[in-house]
Amino acid sequence: MTINQNLTEFAGLPVVDFPAEGLDEYSLPRGDSGLTHEEHRDRWIEAAKDPAAWAWRLRVESYEPEEEFGPCFLRFLEAVDTTPITALVVGMTGSVEDEPGYLEARDLLIRHRDAFPNLRSIFLGDVTFEESEVSWLNHTDVAPLLAAYPELDTLVTRGTGDSRYRASDEEPTEDTVLRLHVPRHEGLRRLIVESGGLRGRMCRELCSSDLPRLEHLELWLGVDTYGYDAVPEDLAPLLSGEAFPGLRHLGLRNAEDTDDWVRVLASAPILARLETLDLSLGTLREEGARILMETPAFHALRRIDLHHHYLPEETRDRLREALTASGVEVDLSEEREPSHFSGEDLYYPAVGE
């Protein structure tokens, strides 16, 4: 699942909506297609009898919302016993014309920290492309949120707020751009940053964070036209193995230059520590496949995810045979064909608009 469908499951739990008033059928979650607003209401009322069994999603209408996110959040606190909830999902937080962001949601979660003593997983930005382009989503500094929830296990973010393709002409500010430097957090084990274009600055901030228990890291790199300008030097502490000593899974996903990252990883010390590697949703081609086949360190992994690639059938089959012969589980599904423009072959990752 990329960004064409809302979450139906998060943190191992089914997702239930606590929708804002006036949410129309167009903006209802794509994962629950066919349910009316009234049916969603009946569903959350039933789920409220056992709040811990669900991941709860808060969202507002994407065009001219009848109820704003803040009142919806406070109504949620009144209507549902939030104390046993372990997983929370934030969807649209405002009208797409105003570029929805997550500063208000972050601050509400911090202010009402006592209402969520068991919260362990947060997803900021469960928004589909039908609701808003990923490049239009504003974000914020996640460090205060993590500080407020020292036992948080999983954080997923979507959007960076730092793309030159924005819904408005306003320049990004400190309150609208994703910041990833976390001085220290001893609980976080899973961090996923989804974007159409990840800045090198954000990678450097992340690598300067102190996350001793981090085991699972995914970065969606994207395309340069949507802000991607990260280079290997920006991730040097990660690639060297200096950062995140507990890391066992690394995802460098949705990259417009997957082959280049395969070449970097082939000589990166971190590879020897990993159990699983995710290079999916990207642009893997012949050169990257050759490096994967010829580099012993890739053959020591337990699993490699390469789905959404640009390999011809013969190369795909040789790569699968080489890796499986070494005991590596590999996903080589979703073979793609390049687009053609002015006589040039173009290779696109899954998310880049």
Q: What is the pLDDT of residues 91-143, one digit of tens each?
A: 989 887 777 789 999 999 999 999 999 999 999 999 988 888 888 888 899 99
Residues 6+ apart with CB under 8 A from 299: 322, 323, 326, 327, 328
Q: Is the pLDDT of residue 27 over 60?
A: no
CB 264 within 8 A of CB 232: yes
Q: What pLDDT sits at residue 196?
A: 92
What confidence score (pLDDT) does residue 2 get?
66
- Residue 308's pLDDT band (cuts 50, 70, 90): very high
Question: What percentage of the chain exceeds 70 in pLDDT?
Answer: 92
Whether 167 and 97 have beta carbons less than 8 Å apart is answered as yes
Domains, the chain, ordered by start: 9-280 (3.80.10.10)
For the cut 70, the answer to whether the pLDDT of residue 206 exceeds it is yes
- Mean pLDDT in residue range 334-339: 94
**C-alpha span between 241 and 243 (Å, rounded):** 6
Across the range 17-37, mean pLDDT stands at 66
**Hunting for tokens 């045979």 — which residue is that?**
321
Is the model's pLDDT at 33 over the cut of 60?
no
Summarised one tens digit per residue, pLDDT across range 143-198 is: 999 999 999 999 999 998 876 555 555 666 667 889 999 999 999 999 999 999 99
Residue 170 is predicted with a pLDDT of 63
pLDDT tens digits, 215-230: 999 999 999 988 899 9
Quickly state the pLDDT bin for 43 (edges 50, 70, 90).
confident
CA atoms within 13 A on the CB side of 251: 23
- What are the structure tokens assigned to 53, written together? 């069994």
pLDDT at 36: 72
pLDDT of residue 153: 98
Does 315 score more than 90 pLDDT?
yes
Chain segment 242-276, per-residue pLDDT in tens: 999 999 999 999 999 999 999 999 999 999 999 99
User: Higher confidence at residue 208 or residue 351?
Assistant: 208
- pLDDT at residue 95 in the model: 80
Entry pTM: 0.94
* Percentage of the chain modeled with pLDDT above 90: 73
Residue 31 has pLDDT above 80, yes or no: no
Q: How far is CA 226 from CA 160, 162, 213, in A?
A: 10, 8, 31
Closest CA to 20 of 75, 78, 86: 75
Q: State the chain's mean pLDDT as an integer.
A: 91
Q: What is the pLDDT of residue 5?
A: 86
pLDDT of residue 301: 98
- Whole-angstrom Cα distance, residue 27 to residue 306? 32
Model pLDDT, residue 163: 66
What are the pLDDT digits (tens) for 285-295? 999 999 999 99
Backbone angles phi, psi at 222, to 5 degrees: 85, -150
What's the per-residue H, E or C state across 84-110?
A: CCCEEEECCCCCHHHCCCCHHHHHHHH
